[in-house]
Amino acid sequence: MTEDEQTLLMFKGLMASLNEQQQRHVDNCLNTIRQLMDDYPEGEALIALGYIGAEQQMKGNWGQGETVDR
């Protein structure tokens, strides 16, 4: 198994540990993000997603439900 496959498997496990409502929320977010990536095929949505991830990592809020001040 590759490192990328392991990462995906870890996220699947995390999602499986959530309650049903949280799983639906994650599914909705995934669908929205995938649609944005389809709508912006030149990579703009992926850049924006990475930007948000970097903001959250800087604030130490990853997974805490908090956002960075914009």
Q: Is-contact 45 37, C-beta < 8 A?
A: yes
Q: How far apart, in whole angstroms, are the C-alpha atoms of residue 53 and residue 57?
A: 6
In this predicted structure, what is the pLDDT of residue 70? 55
Per-10-residue mean pLDDT for the chain, 70 residues long?
96 97 98 98 96 89 58
Give residue 68's region: left, alpha or beta (phi > 0; psi -120 to 50): beta
DSSP code for 18: S
Q: pTM above 0.85?
A: no
In this predicted structure, what is the pLDDT of residue 69? 58
In this predicted structure, what is the pLDDT of residue 56? 87
In this predicted structure, what is the pLDDT of residue 62? 58
In this predicted structure, what is the pLDDT of residue 60? 84
Q: Is-contact 56 43, C-beta < 8 A?
A: no
